[in-house]
């Protein structure tokens, strides 16, 4: 009986009506990686020093061509911000190569790798950035962890999932080498795991899931922190490849999400595992959750409701009544989350808090004075941090260390 019910329930296929990747991926905006700040600073350089661009390029061309020519740090910085054409980029890359070989670079060396990738990102020169990154014989990108992460984001914007995996594979292999020489080496970012799993979800086939399992082992061996949203994307991928046992196991690794999020993921897996009773119980438990004050008590994803509706039409007796009660409560008490699971996994990171506040204002929800004060304090702190980040970017002192 239960097996026949499960076979008749909707499958969570990415090409079906329940999970979809048709919406634009937006988990990381360009601003998250300093692209907007880079463009703003480049505009300032263009305004202040653009009139001297031609003479600067001639000076650097001569320095590159002469064996004893000297590339100065400030000149190279200015050239980077003024570069636009392919010929500008040729000169810039050759100048960086020579700069890196200068004896004084050990003292005055500036990290041109990350600004270079930001430049290519802003100019939409993705192929050139990828070629530089993957070229094993080119030393332009010596320190490339931050540069690689930025490049992955650009590739994902362009839905170049396979190329994005090439980039993360090179980063993982390089980090393995670094760990051998320095076991205390660490990568202090979860961006890599988020971007890598997004690429795998975009590829969405059996090979992608196999690669995901290997990558999880690498992440753990290298002590890379894995973001909860990365696990969610892998759960969706496992569902799409009908490896439900693996999807269900992954739910136990999510640590920092509200319990209702975890319960939704468990519910969808339990249904596919023919564990109808357990699934109904966890849905009922989810229905009892009360989120923090000031936030609407939206508890269920669209996919969960769709499965519950189908389930109610196929069950009989007391179980049917329980499921039907859940469906009615979710609809009448507005407990439906206004996102699909896929959109939740890829939603815009930077704007989460602001979007929540805007939604509350639009809905006229009251907030107590302490909560309002906390939000004002948070906004002031975020404003200070934003100004500090902008200043660091303008000096091109990267906020992320390789």
Residue-wise DSSP of 99-157: HHHSTTHHHH----HHHHHHHHHHTT-HHHHHHHHH-TT--TTSS-HHHHHHHHHHHHH
- Rounded CA-CA distance 117/132 in Å is 9
Structure tokens at 147: 């540069």
- For the CA atoms of 298, 301, 304, 306, what is the dihedral angle to 10 degrees? 100
- Please indicate, yes or no, whether residues 38 and 110 belong to a single structural domain of this protein: yes
Range of the structural domain that residue 327 is part of: 274-350
Q: Count Cβ atoms below 10 Å from residue 237 Cβ, excluding itself.
A: 25
Answer whether residue 400 is part of any domain.
no
CB 119, CB 83: distance < 8 Å: yes
Work out the burial of residue 278: count CB atoms within 10 Å of its CB; fewer than 13 is exposed, 13-18 middle, 19 or more buried: middle
- Rounded CA-CA distance 123/106 in Å is 30
- Please indicate, yes or no, whether residues 126 and 216 belong to a single structural domain of this protein: no
Q: Count Cβ atoms below 10 Å from residue 18 Cβ, excluding itself.
A: 20
Backbone angles phi, psi at 99, to 5 degrees: -60, -40
Distance, CA of 213 to chain centre: 19
- Please indicate, yes or no, whether residues 43 and 149 belong to a single structural domain of this protein: yes
Residue 378's pLDDT is 58
SS3 300: strand
- For the CA atoms of 81, 82, 87, 93, what is the dihedral angle to 10 degrees? -30
Residue 182's pLDDT is 85
Residue 324's pLDDT is 97
Residue 25's pLDDT is 53
- Please indicate, yes or no, whether residues 279 and 249 belong to a single structural domain of this protein: no
Residue 347's pLDDT is 72
- Return per-residue pLDDT of the chain as tens, 402 residues: 444 444 444 444 333 334 444 444 556 888 888 999 999 999 999 999 989 999 999 999 999 999 999 999 999 999 999 999 999 999 999 999 999 888 776 667 688 899 999 999 999 999 999 999 999 887 788 778 899 999 999 999 999 999 999 999 999 999 998 888 888 887 767 789 999 999 999 999 999 999 999 999 999 989 888 989 999 999 999 999 999 999 999 999 998 888 999 999 999 999 999 999 999 999 999 999 887 665 678 899 999 999 999 999 999 999 999 999 999 999 999 999 988 888 888 775 544 444 444 444 333 333 344 445 555 555 555 555 555 455 444 544 443 444
- Rounded CA-CA distance 232/340 in Å is 12
- Rounded CA-CA distance 276/2 in Å is 7
- Helix, strand, coil % in the chain, rounded to nearest 5: 70, 0, 30
- Please indicate, yes or no, whether residues 78 and 142 belong to a single structural domain of this protein: yes
Listed residues 221, 256, 291: the one ending a domain: 256
CB-hemisphere CA count at 13 Å for 162?
A: 2
Q: Count Cβ atoms below 10 Å from residue 240 Cβ, excluding itself.
A: 23
- Please indicate, yes or no, whether residues 204 and 132 belong to a single structural domain of this protein: no
CB 64, CB 94: distance < 8 Å: yes
Structure tokens at 21: 């990747």
Residue 105's pLDDT is 64
Answer whether residue 379 is part of any domain.
no
Answer whether residue 58 is part of any domain.
yes
- Rounded CA-CA distance 259/386 in Å is 31
Residue 356's pLDDT is 45
- Please indicate, yes or no, whether residues 135 and 252 belong to a single structural domain of this protein: no
Residue-wise DSSP of 48-89: HHGGGHHHHHHHHHHHHHSTT----HHHHHHHHHH--SHHHH
Answer whether residue 319 is part of any domain.
yes
Listed residues 99, 125, 158: the one ending a domain: 158
Count of domains in the chain?
3
Locus of tokens 């202090």? 188
Answer whether residue 2 is part of any domain.
no
- Please indicate, yes or no, whether residues 67 and 152 belong to a single structural domain of this protein: yes
- Rounded CA-CA distance 234/27 in Å is 15
Answer whether residue 297 is part of any domain.
yes
CB 92, CB 57: distance < 8 Å: no
């Amino acid at each position: 009986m239960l097996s026949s019910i499960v076979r008749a329930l909707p499958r969570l296929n990415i090409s079906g009506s329940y999970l979809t990747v048709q919406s634009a991926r937006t988990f990381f905006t360009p601003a998250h990686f300093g692209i907007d700040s880079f463009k703003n600073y480049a505009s300032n350089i263009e305004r202040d020093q653009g009139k001297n661009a031609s003479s600067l390029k001639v000076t650097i061309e001569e320095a590159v061509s002469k064996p004893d020519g000297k590339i100065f740090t400030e000149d190279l910085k200015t050239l980077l911000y003024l570069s636009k054409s392919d010929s500008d980029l040729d000169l810039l890359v050759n100048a960086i190569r020579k700069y890196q070989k200068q004896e004084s670079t050990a003292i005055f060396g500036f990290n041109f790798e990350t600004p270079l990738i930001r430049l290519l990102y802003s100019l939409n020169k993705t192929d050139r950035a990828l070629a530089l990154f993957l070229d094993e014989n080119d030393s332009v990108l010596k320190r490339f962890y931050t540069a690689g992460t930025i490049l992955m984001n650009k590739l994902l914007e362009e839905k170049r999932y396979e190329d994005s995996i090439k980039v993360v594979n090179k980063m993982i292999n390089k980090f393995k080498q670094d760990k051998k020489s320095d076991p205390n080496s660490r990568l202090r970012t979860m961006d890599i795991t988020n971007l890598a799993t997004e690429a795998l979800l975009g590829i969405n086939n059996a090979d992608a899931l196999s690669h995901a399992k290997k990558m999880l082992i690498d992440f753990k061996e290298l002590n890379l922190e894995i973001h909860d949203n990365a696990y969610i994307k892998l759960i969706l991928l496992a569902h799409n490849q009908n490896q439900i046992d693996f999807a269900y196991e992954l739910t136990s690794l999510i640590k920092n999400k509200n319990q209702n999020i975890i319960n939704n993921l468990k519910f969808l897996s339990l249904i596919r595992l023919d564990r109808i009773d357990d699934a109904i119980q966890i849905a009922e438990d989810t229905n009892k959750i009360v989120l923090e004050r000031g936030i609407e008590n939206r508890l269920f994803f669209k996919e969960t409701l769709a499965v519950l509706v189908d389930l109610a039409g196929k069950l009989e007796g007391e179980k049917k009544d329980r499921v039907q009660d859940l469906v009615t409560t979710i609809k009448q008490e507005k407990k439906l989350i206004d996102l699909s699971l896929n959109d939740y996994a890829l939603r815009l990171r930077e704007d989460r808090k602001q979007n929540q506040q805007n939604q509350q204002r639009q809905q006229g929800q009251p907030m107590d004075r302490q909560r309002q004060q906390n939000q004002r304090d948070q906004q002031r702190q975020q404003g200070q941090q934003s100004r500090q980040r902008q200043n660091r970017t303008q000096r091109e002192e990267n906020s992320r260390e390789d």
